[in-house]
Structure 1
Amino acid sequence: MMERVPCEFFLLRYVPDAVKDEFVNIGVLLREAARPEEAVVRFTRDWSRVRCIDPDADTAMLEAMEAEIALRLRTSATDPKPVMTVLEDTFSNSIRITEARATLAESVPAELEQLMQLYVDSRKLPAARRRTGRAAIAAAMRGEFERAGVWELMRKRIAASAYTRPGDPLKIDCGYRPNGIVRMFHAVSLEGDLEAAKVLAFSSTSLREGVQRVENAGLELTAVVEPLRQVDETTEGEAAERYRFGVETMEREAIRVLTVSDLPRLAETARRELNG
């Protein structure tokens, strides 16, 4: 029987109105009791419960906050409470952290997944509402990078405006810089509307030029899409034609197009480049 690891976890809660004191669990912070300095954090990817109690919630800010917490944890002392106290003050107590709770884990990644399902993403969506399209691709991409142990080392939601021009709303999902090249990855669904593919293709030239100007580095831009057979099992119908059009549109602009089946290879490359 596998020996379980003593751990403790904290729940991160979104509290939009201190008077009503209503809250939604949005994340989990987990650490081994014997190695508290190696805490990990994860936020939900489904913000529907947050929007139920606060339709005006800034979910982009909340997503960015996950990376901020992870960064502070890596550079802080062993107690996450001071880190969270700073963040609670920054966001006027709209983010709160519970007291530590004990748990026994088979492994930290497995326990984090279980705690997320138990306390944060506990609602089981019906089949018709399961994550599909771009959300499914982005989740798969994050999952593979997490399994490779590099997700926290990567840049997330990279603002194109830093390289193109002010006002550009495009945000690339994630990326990193090994040596003299910047690798960026963006989830693009070709199931329905091809607008995302066309926007990425349109932006690629100015993005590439901006990376060269700002970082003095080349850009390798990768679009991750679903497999063709997921869009059209016959691979000969109208949906398949749209799919191929989307791929060709991006490839014409020197965007590398890969499917979710290529993600383990991408994650392994990232692991070697970031941990080597």
Structure 2
Amino acid sequence: MWRRDLAERLRCEFALIRYVPDVVKGEFTNIGVVLRGEDAIAEVRFTRDWSRVRCLDPGADVEMLESLETEIAERLRGGDVGAVKPVLTVLEDSLSNSVQMSEMRGTLAESLPAEMDALMRLYVEPLKVAERARRLSGRAAIVGQMREQFERAGVWRLMRKRIRAADYTQAGDPLRLDCGYRNGVVKMFQAVSLDADVEGAKGLAYSAEALREGVKRTELLEMELTAIVEPISVVGDEEQYRFGVRAMERESIRVMTVGDLERIAATARRELRV
């Protein structure tokens, strides 16, 4: 396989994002990487497996940590890796210094995506994370495949994540949509497992009308809601599967399978002009 020699490789800098639940003890685990190339393009990626964080701190607010990745990514869109420090500084009081960033280090890369993958494997991901990921099932597996395809298409960093339904429906609504973007309409995507928990399909169907009305009221745009489900061939109860699909389609939710994700991601790439 052709590879760049050292003279041709890209000069990059990276820093590690760490979770430090007890600053006095100084124990930490790496949860993410910030990577910047010579052209000042910077990206951030957090782990998808929070087992080491939960082992270190059973009470860790994983939802907050996931949202922090989105906030840092927003700051990095301007290409300023130095913007990460202010983000963490702003959150310092509420986090009690539990999230920190290491000093920047130099590295040589074949490409930014390849280097990000390598750094995540080397410094962040737990051992045998790939084997565990393959064993994931239900909604977690679908979410992982969604993110993977959007990352491959280069659009994940441009998308909103964990979108609060309460911003469009009513206070107290616990629903969060996995991801979405705007392109003349508001497109939202939600992983729904029809094998493990058909209640998720019923809940999304129940919320669809209020979401649609709320988006139109607050953003003056129509909403296109897509549910990503397993293919029927892998589920144990086909009757339950068909019930879930019908429940969502009755509320004008587009239902697609994980097999459609590559095409969905390609459409997002084209619409977001990546």
Describe the SS at the equivalent of 1:167.
Answer: coil
Q: 1:26 aligns with which of 2, 11, 31?
A: 31
Q: Distance in 1 between matches of 2:87 and 2:101?
A: 7
Q: Distance in 2 between matches of 1:81 and 1:163?
A: 29
Q: Distance in 1 between matches of 2:134 and 2:268?
A: 32
Deviations 1:202-258 (A, max 9, x none): 1111111111111121111000011111224xxxxxx11111111111111111000
In structure 1, the partner of 2:3 is 2
Q: Does the aligned pair in 1 maintain the 2:227–2:255 contact within 8 Å? A: yes
Residue type of the alignment partner of 2:64: M
Give me the TM-score of the superposition, normalised by structure 2: 0.90
Describe the SS at the equivalent of 1:192.
Answer: coil
Describe the SS at the equivalent of 2:21.
Answer: coil
Q: Does the aligned pair in 1 maintain the 2:169–2:214 contact within 8 Å? A: yes
Report how far residue 81 of structure 1 moved.
6.1
In structure 1, the partner of 2:68 is 65
Report how far residue 5 of structure 1 moved.
2.2
Residue type of the alignment partner of 2:188: M
Q: Does 1:240 align with 2:238?
A: yes
Q: Distance in 2 between matches of 1:8 and 1:89?
A: 24
Deviations 1:159-198 (A, max 9, x none): 001111100000000111112x111000111112211111
Q: Between the two proteins, what is the percent identity of the paired residues?
A: 58
In structure 2, the partner of 1:17 is 22
Q: Does the aligned pair in 1 maintain the 2:88–2:99 contact within 8 Å? A: no
Residue type of the alignment partner of 1:257: V
Q: Does the aligned pair in 2 maintain the 1:88–1:96 contact within 8 Å? A: no
Q: Distance in 1 between matches of 2:195 and 2:182?
A: 30
Residue type of the alignment partner of 1:114: A
Return 5+ residue gaps in structure 2 as ranges. Answer: none
Could you say if the C-alpha distance between residues 10 and 256 of structure 1 is closer, same or farther in structure 2, counting changes exceeding 3 Å? same
Report how far residue 80 of structure 1 moved.
5.3
Q: Does 1:56 align with 2:59?
A: yes
Residue type of the alignment partner of 1:266: I
Q: 1:208 aligns with which of 203, 212, 221?
A: 212
Q: Does the aligned pair in 2 maintain the 1:72–1:83 contact within 8 Å? A: no
Could you say if the C-alpha distance between residues 84 and 229 of structure 1 is closer, same or farther in structure 2, counting changes exceeding 3 Å? same
Could you say if the C-alpha distance between residues 88 and 220 of structure 1 is closer, same or farther in structure 2, counting changes exceeding 3 Å? closer
Superposed counterparts of 1:151-170, under 5 Å: 151-170=156-175
Superposed counterparts of 1:110-121, under 5 Å: 110-121=114-125
In structure 1, the partner of 2:229 is 225
Q: 2:77 aligns with which of 74, 78, 88?
A: 74
In structure 1, the partner of 2:270 is 272
In structure 2, the partner of 1:196 is 200
Could you say if the C-alpha distance between residues 166 and 71 of structure 1 is closer, same or farther in structure 2, counting changes exceeding 3 Å? same
Could you say if the C-alpha distance between residues 30 and 38 of structure 1 is closer, same or farther in structure 2, counting changes exceeding 3 Å? same
Deviates more, 1:127-136 or 1:40-49: 127-136
Could you say if the C-alpha distance between residues 81 and 42 of structure 1 is closer, same or farther in structure 2, counting changes exceeding 3 Å? closer
**Structure 1 stretches of at least 4 aligned residues deviating more than 4 Å after TM superposition:** 125-129
Q: 1:100 aligns with which of 92, 97, 104?
A: 104
Residue type of the alignment partner of 1:54: D
Report how far residue 117 of structure 1 moved.
1.8
Deviations 1:8-58 (A, max 9, x none): 2211100011111110110011122x22x2111000111121111212211
In structure 1, the partner of 2:191 is 187
Report how far residue 87 of structure 1 moved.
5.1
